[in-house]
Structure 1
Amino acid sequence: MIFRQLFDSTSSTYTYLLASRPGGEALIIDPVLERVERYLKLIEELDLKLVKAVDTHVHADHITGLGALRDHTKCITVMGEQSGVDVVSMRVSDGDRLSIEGISLGVIYTPGHTDDSYSFTLPDRVFTGDTLLIRGTGRTDFQNGDARQQYDSIFNRLLKLPEETLVFPAHDYKGDTVSTIGEERRHNPRLQVRSVEEYAALMAGLNLPNPKMMDVAVPANLRQGLHQEEVARRGWAVTAEAAQALVGQPGAVLIDLREKSERERHGCIPGALHAPYPDLAENIGAGGVLHELATATGKQLVFFCAYGERSAMAVQAAQDAGLGQASHIEGGMAAWKKAGGRLA
C-alpha cells in the first residue's frame, strides 16, 4: 500500500494519501487548501489517480482542499451524512465502507468534537480526525460539540479497536506523528477518567480560545458545492419533476453514476443504466458504451448521482466529448425523492 502522511505547519494539520499500488486509484483524507498544489504534484509523481477526497468533519482551523481537488481532478468529495456542507458528492454513515481500488475503509460515526465527526478504519490503523488526538482529544465547545458524545465515541467505539491499531489524527501540536489505541488508553491524560461526568467536567474546564481561522474557515468549508447553476444556465439540466416524465421513454436513457453501495442503500430509478462515475471517461470516449449509445441511437443521456455534483461534472465532460444530448438531474437523487419520484 502507498501511504503518505503530509503536514501543514500553519494549521498543524495532517493529511493522508492512500493507494493500493502505483498507477492506481488514490484517496486523500483532510486536505488543506494551501497545500493542494503539493498534493497534486505528489499524486503525479506517484502516478496515481485521485478518485476520492474526504473530510473527517467541517474544520474550523483551515479551509479544506476538497473543492479545489474536485475542480482539478474531478474526484468524488466525501463527508458524513450529518455534515452541513451544501453539496458533496457522497455522504457516508456509520457502518458504511468507503472504497477505492484495492482499499476499503470502515466508517465510524464519532461525534463529540463536532456533530459531523467521522473516523475511518483499515485493519491496522484508524484515522480519527479531531476526535482522538495523540495524548489529547478534540475540543467540544463549538460546532455542536458535546463532551458526553465524545466520551461515547472514544470509549465505546475507538478504544474498542485492537490495542495495536495505529492512530493517525488530523492534527498534532507537539510533533508526534502516530500513536496506538493501547498507548492512548494508557497514557492520554484526558482518558484517565472514571466516568462520562468526569470527562465532561474536564472538557468544560479547558477554556480554550477560538481557532484563529474559525470565522473564515467554517463559512468557507460549508460552501463546497459545484455550481450547478452554470450547468443549468447552459441548458444542460432537467428538474427532478421533468426527469420523471423521461422514465421509459425511447428517446432518453437515465444514467446512474452512484456506487453500488449507494444504490443499495438509497434505491434506484426504474430502468436507469448503472455506469459508475469512476468509469465515466472510458464510457463517454470513442467506443465507450455511453458514447455509442448517444451517437448510434441519438438518445438523450440524462446523468444523475446523489446530489448533482458528480452528474454536473459528467454532463460537462460529455459535452466536451461531443455528446450534445447530455444533461443531468439537478439535485440528483435527493431532489428525485423530494419530488416523489418512483424507486426500484
Structure 2
Amino acid sequence: MLSKVQFLKVSATFCAPTPPKRSSFHQIVTFRAKLGSRMGSASYTTSSKLLFRQLFEKESSTYTYLLADVSHPDKPALLLIFCFFPGKNAMALCKFCSHLTGKLIVVLRCCVCLRILDMKSKLVDPVDKTVDRDVSLVKELGLKLIYAINTHVHADHVTGTGLLKSKAPGVKSIISKASQAKADLFVEPGDKICFGDLFLEVRATPGHTQGCVTYVTGDGPDQPQPRMAFTGDALLIRGCGRTDFQGGSSDQLYDSVHSQIFTLPEDTFVYPAHDYKGFSASTVGEEMQYNPRLTKDKETFKNIMANLNLSYPKMIDRAVPANMVCGLQDVEAKVAS
C-alpha cells in the first residue's frame, strides 16, 4: 500500500513523455506577459501543447490560473485559484476546490480549484467568489477536476476546498505536509503533480507561513518554455507576503525566495496569488533586479519587514482554524443551517 505522498511521487512516473513540438508558445506568452504586466489584463494563450488562462477577481485583486495539456488525449488541466473574501464574504467557500477530478490545477493566491469533465485537472487554492465563472469555463473547455490544491493555510479567507469536495465527490484536496493542515494528500519538496505529459514541481518556500510552497512548471524538452512559477504569497510582483503571523519569518522568506525562486532561469514567468497595482505577471529576472525588498541584503530586508506596520488580518482568527481542516467546518455549518 502506497502512502499518500508516495502516490504523488509514483504517479509522476506515469507522465509519459511525448515528442517535443516547436510552437509559438514562447513568443505568445512573452507578448502577453509584457502586455498584461502593464495593463493588468487577462492572458489568453494557447500553444500546440499548453493551454494557459489567467483570470482576475477585482474585488480581492486575486488571480486564478488554468493550465491544460491540450496535446494529451485526455486534455488534462489545472486550475490555480487565489481568491479571498474580506468581511462577510470571507465565509464564502470555493465550490470549486472540492471538485477536482482531472489532472492538476494550481491556485496561486489564496486558493486554486480545477475541474475537468473529460480532461483531467487539479485545483489550487480554491475560493467561493468566482466559482461560477471558473466552473463554467472548465465545463466549457471540457475539463475534469481531480485535485484541489492549496499553496498554504490562508489567513485572509476560508478555503473553498471543503465545499468543492462536497460538490464534487472524488476530488482530492492537496496541501504541503509542512502546513500540518488536514487534506487528502500531502506534498513535499521535489514531488511532481502531473497533468497529461506536463507536471508541476513542488518547491518549499516558507517564510510567509511555515507551509508555503511554490509550484513550477516542469523542466525538460517536452515541457513548455519558458517555465512558469506560481508563487502564492511568497513572492509578489515587486513585493512579497508579510511575515508577522502564522509562524512567519523574514529570515526564512528571504532564503526561500533566493534559493528556490531566484535560482530558476531568469526568463521564468512569475505568477503570484494577487496584485493590487494592476500588474499581471513578472519574471524571475525582473524581480531579481527590481523587487524593492528582495534585492536588498538580508539584514536590510528583515528591517523592512519588521517596520511595515501592517494591520492585523481581519479574518485570521476565523480563517486559519477553518483552513486547517480544509474549510470543512464552514461546509458543515452551512449544511446545518
TM-score range with shorter-chain normalisation? 0.5 to 0.7
Q: Aligned AA for 1:36?
A: V
- In the alignment, the residues of structure 1 paired with residue 304 and residue 273 of structure 2 have an alpha-carbon distance, to the nearest angstrom, of 22
Instruction: Find 2:147's aligned residue among 49, 52, 71.
Output: 52
Q: Aligned AA for 1:102?
A: D
Please report the TM-score for the alignment, with normalisation by the length of structure 1. 0.62
Is 1:117 aligned to residue 219 of structure 2? no
User: Could you tell me which residue of structure 1 aligns to residue 310 of structure 2?
Assistant: 208
Displacement of 1:143 in angstroms is 0.4
User: Could you tell me which residue of structure 1 aligns to residue 301 of structure 2?
Assistant: 199
1:209-264 CA distance string (max 9 Å, x none): 1233323322221222779xx9xxxxxxxxxxxxxxxxxxxxxxxxxxxxxxxxxx
Decide whether the 8 Å contact of 1:127 with 1:167 is kept in 2: yes
User: Could you tell me which residue of structure 2 aligns to residue 76 of structure 1?
Assistant: 172
Please report the TM-score for the alignment, with normalisation by the length of structure 2. 0.64
Q: Aligned AA for 1:145?
A: G
1:41-81 CA distance string (max 9 Å, x none): 11111110011111110111122121222222231111000
Task: State the SS of the aligned residue for 1:33.
Answer: coil
Is 1:154 aligned to residue 249 of structure 2? no
Instruction: Find 2:323's aligned residue among 221, 239, 255.
Output: 221
1:155-189 CA distance string (max 9 Å, x none): 11110000000000011111111100000011110
User: Could you tell me which residue of structure 1 aligns to residue 6 of structure 2?
Assistant: none
Structure 1: state its 5+ residue gaps: 231-344
Decide whether the 8 Å contact of 1:33 with 1:66 is kept in 2: no
- In the alignment, the residues of structure 1 paired with residue 207 and residue 176 of structure 2 have an alpha-carbon distance, to the nearest angstrom, of 14
- In the alignment, the residues of structure 2 paired with residue 8 and residue 31 of structure 1 have an alpha-carbon distance, to the nearest angstrom, of 13
- In the alignment, the residues of structure 2 paired with residue 218 and residue 172 of structure 1 have an alpha-carbon distance, to the nearest angstrom, of 22
Is 1:174 aligned to residue 270 of structure 2? no
- In the alignment, the residues of structure 1 paired with residue 163 and residue 137 of structure 2 have an alpha-carbon distance, to the nearest angstrom, of 15
Decide whether the 8 Å contact of 1:147 with 1:203 is kept in 2: yes
- In the alignment, the residues of structure 1 paired with residue 69 and residue 152 of structure 2 have an alpha-carbon distance, to the nearest angstrom, of 24
1:275-327 CA distance string (max 9 Å, x none): xxxxxxxxxxxxxxxxxxxxxxxxxxxxxxxxxxxxxxxxxxxxxxxxxxxxx
Instruction: Find 1:145's aligned residue among 248, 260, 275.
Output: 248
Instruction: Find 1:103's aligned residue among 198, 203, 209.
Output: 198
Question: Residues 226 and 62 of structure 1: is their aligned pair in 2 closer, same or farther, counting only changes over 3 Å?
Answer: closer
User: Could you tell me which residue of structure 2 aligns to residue 39 of structure 1?
Assistant: 134
Structure 2: state its 5+ residue gaps: 1-49, 76-117, 219-226, 333-337
Displacement of 1:31 in angstroms is 1.9
- In the alignment, the residues of structure 2 paired with residue 211 and residue 42 of structure 1 have an alpha-carbon distance, to the nearest angstrom, of 32
Q: Percent identity?
A: 47
Query: How do 1:1-344 and structure 2 match up within 5 A?
Result: 1-21=50-70, 22=75, 23-73=118-168, 74-85=170-181, 87-123=182-218, 124-194=227-297, 196-224=298-326
Decide whether the 8 Å contact of 2:183 with 2:325 is kept in 1: no
Task: State the SS of the aligned residue for 1:189.
Answer: coil
Question: Residues 155 and 62 of structure 1: is their aligned pair in 2 closer, same or farther, counting only changes over 3 Å?
Answer: same
Say what the alpha-carbon RMSD is for the aligned residues: 1.9
Q: Which runs of 4+ in 1 moved over 6 A?
A: none
Task: State the SS of the aligned residue for 1:171.
Answer: coil
1:123-158 CA distance string (max 9 Å, x none): 411000100000001100000000010010011111
Decide whether the 8 Å contact of 1:36 with 1:65 is kept in 2: no
Task: State the SS of the aligned residue for 1:199.
Answer: helix
Decide whether the 8 Å contact of 1:15 with 1:28 is kept in 2: no
Task: State the SS of the aligned residue for 1:191.
Answer: coil
Higher helix share: 1
Q: Aligned AA for 1:157?
A: Q
Displacement of 1:8 in angstroms is 2.6
- In the alignment, the residues of structure 1 paired with residue 317 and residue 130 of structure 2 have an alpha-carbon distance, to the nearest angstrom, of 20
- In the alignment, the residues of structure 2 paired with residue 105 and residue 26 of structure 1 have an alpha-carbon distance, to the nearest angstrom, of 12
- In the alignment, the residues of structure 1 paired with residue 249 and residue 187 of structure 2 have an alpha-carbon distance, to the nearest angstrom, of 21
Decide whether the 8 Å contact of 1:163 with 1:180 is kept in 2: yes
Q: Aligned AA for 2:59?
A: T
CA radius of gyration, larger in: 1
Task: State the SS of the aligned residue for 1:91.
Answer: strand
